[in-house]
Every structure is written in structure tokens, then in C-alpha cells.
Amino acid sequence: MCLPDVCLPMTPGEPLRLVGVELRWLELSLAEPLDTAGGTHAARPIVLVRVVTDHGEGYGECAALAEPGYSHEYAARAWRTLEGRLVPGLLDSAGGQVPSPGEVGGILEALLDTGDDQPMARAALEMGVLDAVLRVSGRSLAEYLGVTAPVVPAGGVVGICSTPGELIEKVAAMHDRGTRRVKVKIRPGHDVEPLSALRGAFGDVELLGDANGAYRLGDHRRLARLDPLGLLCIEQPLPAHDLAGHAELARRIGTPVCLDESLRSVADLEKAIATGACEVACIKPARMGGYLAAVAASEMCLSSGVPAYCGGMLEAGLARAANAALAGLPAFTIPGDLAGGERFVEGDPFGALEDLGGVVPVWHSPGLGPCPDVASLARVTTRTSWVGR
Ligand code: MG
């Protein structure tokens, strides 16, 4: 798919000018910590960017978590990179004009060293520019992507639970709300039994296990014991760098192997598919460097016959809305990690994505999603920084 440049409703020939970017540190925390093989997530700071142009503004959320672990990126580092390199570099580019959304990724990529790439920081700024340009032009992300669906299916995510009973209780609550696809965090020794218990309790729920890279190829016999459960896939069983191991594991077990952490760019995805390491793809716009890279990744999955779903990063409501629009593209044949928006202790300034019974709405108003509630935003903001021209 070739994305059209967004047409701006201004005097012909008049460029949209970039005035500056405000960074806001949002101190959010999860109402219920999420336990994974890679650690427990409780605090959820979000670096928010507000891109200000001479005709309007837009917001972008940085998905980097509080600590490194899921990836090498983390929120405090993303702040420094945005403040010190990416925002000044964008302001200097194109003589202060707002680049077209399709150009932003390349501009930002060139500002970081290859060995120090930070796709989540880049994605946040690209998101802010895209939101601003779409709002100014009165268009939604869905319209920009050619997505017309009013809703998309939404799957839920459950962390590692201390007992099978607790796990079943949590999935039962999701099931009661209409969720029909559930991702369960697993790790060695906490996999076959809980997933078997779930399969026994919920025959009509599509299940997948997410290992966050906790296994090694030598665990293939244990992982093969998941085959009779008919899982959609096992997500990121081996460490991110081990493409050859994933390809070999895919040959040894019946459950399809899905990659998440391994896919940091479209080039990574291409290599993973070519080597047989990626039978299902979990596409996260932030991890791949932005929504436009995610669109390209989805097209690669579609043309390669690799089923895909849109992954989640414990986002606030803006990125959740944008993810729902992305998930309306034809490559996303598996429900994404879109349910469970009510995760935060304090109110989400963008509001939780409404769960409509196993589906969530696609945002069809201008921009990527809702504007923040000013009072809520002020309550959770602990630091701001303005970088202007
Ligand atoms: Mg994952």
C-alpha cells in the first residue's frame, strides 16, 4: 500500500510550520501489576510529546517502559534522546517546515547512530507529527490507512498467576465481557499446566502463550507438550537475537512460532520470514519505529501469508486508539492486544478505549485518537520540557 501524503487545508503553497515540541512525563501506574517472564510491570511512566505547529497540534506516546528488559529502551532514556537529539534534529530539518508523515521516519533514523537506535523514541515523535498533520487536515488515522471498519476484535492479556484458579478467574472475567482471544504470559515451569487448565475451562477461547524469550531450544520437548492444546501460537519463546533457534523450534513443535521482541524493523521481519523463524507476527508500531513502519510490516505479512496481530505495550488511550485503527488493516487476521484499557490507578488522560464486548471502536474523528483531558493530564504530569525553534 502506498500511503498518500496528507493534504492540508491551507493556502496552496503555504507550508505547515513546526513551532516546537513539548515533552511531558506522565507518572502512571498499573492498577494491577503485570507479571511476565521478563519481570513485573507496576509503574508505567509515559513520555508524551506534544507537537505544536502554526495551525494546530498533535500528541504522541512513547511506549518505552519504566526499565529496560523488554527492550534496551526505557522511558528516562527516551526522554533524553527526544529532548537532546530527535526534537532538535526535527526542528532543524526542512527549514522549520513540518515534513510529510512519510518523511519523518527517515529524518529521525538518520539522527541516531546505528548502534544506538531507539525506535520507540522515534515512533513517539513520528506519532506526534502524524497526529498534528491529520488533525489539521481533518482526517483520522483510519481514513489515512483506508480502514473503514467501525470496530475491531480485541484480545486480552493475562500475566503469570500464582495459581491456576486465579488464572481461570481472570480469564472468566474477560470471557464474561466478550473477549474470545486471550494471551497468557508463560515461563519454564509455568506453561503446560496453566494453559491446560484454561483450555479445559474455556473451549471457545483462542489462546496463545507469550514467553518473552524465556526458553531455550533445548526446551523443545516441553514446548511440544503444548501442541495438543491447539494454541494460536507461542509468542517469542526464545531470546530476541536467536532467529536460527526459532526456525529450528518451528520445525520441532506443532504450535506456530510467533515473534515479538525479535522484530525491531521491517528488515528484521523480512529476514525472520525468509528463515522460517516467524510463522505468526506480533506487530507493535512503537517497537518497529512507528505506524508507517508497522503498515509496511503488515503488508509484508500479507504478501508472505504470515498471520499477524497488533501487539500492546500497556499504552494509554491515544496509542490504543491508533492501534485499533492499524488493526483494521487486512493483514491483522488475529485479534490484537487491544482490550483492558482500564489498567491505570490514576485516570488515563486520553480515556480508556471502550470495550464493546470483545471488540473496540476504531477512531474515525480527526487525528490518531481523543485529545487529552486537560485536568487529568495536569494531575499525572510531573515534568515538562519545551524545545522550540
Ligand atoms: Mg510479547
Residue 284 annotated as catalytic: yes
State the virtual CA torsion across 47, 48, 51, 55 in degrees, nearest 10.
-170
Catalytic residue among 170, 183, 271, 284: 284
- pLDDT attached to residue 4: 54
pLDDT averaged per 10 residues, the chain (length 389): 51 77 94 82 92 96 91 95 97 89 94 90 98 97 97 94 92 92 95 95 95 97 97 98 98 98 95 98 96 97 98 92 98 92 79 87 97 95 95
- pLDDT attached to residue 31: 79
Beta strands in the chain (DSSP E): 18-36, 39-53, 56-62, 151-153, 156-158, 181-185, 206-210, 234-235, 257-259, 280-283, 308-310, 359-361, 381-388
Q: What does the block give as the cell for 12?
A: 496552496
- pLDDT attached to residue 9: 45
Written as one string, the DSSP assignment of 131-184 is HHHHHHHT-BHHHHHT---SEEEB-EEE---SSHHHHHHHHHHHHHTT--EEEE
- pLDDT attached to residue 5: 55
Distance of CA 183 from the midpoint of ligand 1 (Å): 9
Distance of CA 86 from the midpoint of ligand 1 (Å): 27
Backbone angles phi, psi at 265, to 5 degrees: -165, 170
Distance of CA 279 from the midpoint of ligand 1 (Å): 15
Distance of CA 291 from the midpoint of ligand 1 (Å): 18
Q: Tell whether the torsion through CA atoms of 343, 385, 59 and 373 is positive or negative.
A: positive
Catalytic residue among 170, 183, 185, 271: 185
Q: What does the block give as the cell for 212?
A: 518473552
Distance of CA 184 from the midpoint of ligand 1 (Å): 10
- pLDDT attached to residue 6: 55
Which single residue is written with the C-alpha cell 508524551? 48
Distance of CA 284 from the midpoint of ligand 1 (Å): 9
- pLDDT attached to residue 366: 97
Written as one string, the DSSP assignment of 284-335 is -TTTTTSHHHHHHHHHHHHHHT--EEE---S--HHHHHHHHHHTTSTT--S-
Distance of CA 236 from the midpoint of ligand 1 (Å): 6
Residue 185 annotated as catalytic: yes
Distance of CA 267 from the midpoint of ligand 1 (Å): 19
Radius of gyration of the chain from its Cα atoms, rounded to whole angstroms: 20
